[in-house]
A and B are shown apart, each in its own frame.
Chain A
Amino acid sequence: MQIWNWHGFFMYLGSGFIFRGALVTLMLTVFATCAGFVLGTVVAVMKRSRHKGLSLPARFYIWLFRGTPLLVQLIIIYTGLPKFGIRLDVTTAALIGLSLNEAAYLAEIIRAGLDAVSPGQIAAARALGLEEGQIARYITFPQALRIIVPPLGNSVNGLLKTTSITSVISMEELLRRAQLLVQEHFMVLELFTVTAIYYLAMTSAWDMIQRRLENYVNRPYQRTATPVLLEPEANIAVTS
């Protein structure tokens, strides 16, 4: 038996089956990040609220989803919910599970970002006559984003790999498809090397995007900052 089969390696590298699995991994990651960010923002804002009716449910949510393994959450969503008459296909269950889980982690990251904006700036903004929505838009969020983006990047990198856990409910993402192919020719090393290359390609691509994001949110802090924030708004103000 050969140690390494180059023919098999290139066959898997060019495999459309594996490539489409990687696309599924990518899709799961992008969706769960976006949905998790939106839901995480809501949970973070709720958790910071002075009203117990808002902050307690948010605390409970974070406690629950960070305190249990994603694997368990996925199995409960996929096999448990049908017992209550909620039937989900594999993809929907995977998307929901990943998004709910990601939201809990992102909520803590976003909350830390929002907390980093000094109360003095919020008071000053109120005194200037800005309303709460305007304060969030012009003061809190732009400053919070700068704090949020680096840990958000780590979270997305982790999520790219964590999506492989959805294979337990037979979601056909990259890892699951590799496992399926193993049974065909038993070229385990070649196949999983290809799988590793796909993950590396995706995490490397994300690293590049993250660097750009960081530059973008840091742009107001660079020395030669050009006024970017007020220009379009001033135009809106003129026409309204």
Chain B
Amino acid sequence: MSYLEFRNVQASYGTNPILLGVDLDIEKGEIVSLIGPSGSGKSTMLRVLIGLTPLSGGEIRLEGKPIDYATKAGLRAVRSRMAMVFQSFGLFDHLTVEQNLLLAPTVVGKKKRAPLLEEMHEVLRLTDMQGHDGKRPPQLSGGQKQRIAIARALMLHPEILLMDEPTSALDPIRIAAMSDLFGKLAAQGVTIIQVSHNMDVVRSLSDRIVLMHDGRIAATASPKRDQDDNAAIARFMAAEAHQA
């Protein structure tokens, strides 16, 4: 039994089938990178996992138990263990950075504000965003927004961290710093599933690379263990790296 198991996972938007039966096993503390062409279903994988897009078939098991997305209690339970960084950030424009970071911990987590403020400053330091807590998202640059989105997810202390292209707007120095941070989180037992088009990050960070194609897993590879990458993955990564 693996920590997180996808079993014949299917999903569709309306009548459009998007995921056509995905099987994937993920271990605790692993960093899994989803790669693949645009529209292949990478974001949908993350959305399904956190219950934003319903499964139309199959199931996802967490520590052996099927996740119950159909009931409020089930959704609450699964969302309390995960956090997600969105491709388009999803920051709340009318709230300050501080309010963005504290909203869920106070309203959902019912935690006290004073200790949270301390945590917030720590998280802002980790994402190199200290001193920006009074600003609102429209006043931030793209890369700053992205780091606030990461900071907001970290405030939830997730067991599983889902990140949709979390370094797409960052400069090389920040990418290195964030990769370092993700590596440390994984070493502490946080399971990370990220979507990325940055093949350097994918290669250096991933325990496993999953290549998606047309709603299916086309290939997987473990760059840290296998000497020879899977041929299909190597080809895709070479093509992506060439594009960038």
Contacts and interface: CB of A to CB of B under 8 A. Distances in A.
Q: Tell me, yes or no, whether A binds B.
A: yes
B112 A130 contact: no
Nearest to B113: A234
Nearest to A137: B107
A7 B111 CA distance: 69
A127 B112 CA distance: 21
B92 A139 contact: yes
Contacts of B151: none
Interface in A145-170: 146
Per DSSP, are chain A's interface residues mostly helix, strand or loop, or mixed?
helix
Contacts of B84: 124, 127
Interface in B46-99: 47, 50-52, 72, 76, 79-80, 82-84, 86, 88-96, 98-99
B99 to A, nearest CB: 5
Contact of B86 (A123, A131, A143): A123
A138 B108 contact: no
B106 A230 contact: yes
A126 B84 CA distance: 10
Interface stretch (A87-95, A105-113, A199-207, A220-228): A220-228
A124 B90 contact: yes
A228 B153 CA distance: 22
Contacts, number: 97
A128 interface: yes
Nearest to A132: B72
Nearest to B104: A128
A234 B111 CA distance: 8
A180 interface: no
B210 interface: no
Contact of B98 (A129, A146, A227, A238): A227
Interface in B111-125: 111-113
Contacts of B19: none
Contacts of B157: none
B79 A129 contact: yes
Interface in A194-240: 220-221, 223, 225, 227, 229-231, 233-234, 237-238, 240
Contacts of B109: 129
Contact of A233 (B79, B90, B94, B106): B106
Given A121-B93, A130-B108, A146-B94, A229 B52 contact: no
A240 B109 CA distance: 12
B221 interface: no
Interface string B22-35: 00000000000000
16 contacts: A121-B91, A123-B86, A124-B84, A127-B86, A128-B104, A129-B104, A129-B108, A130-B107, A138-B103, A225-B136, A230-B99, A231-B113, A234-B113, A237-B111, A237-B112, A238-B112
Interface of B: 47, 50-52, 72, 76, 79-80, 82-84, 86, 88-96, 98-99, 102-104, 106-113, 134, 136, 138-139, 152, 156
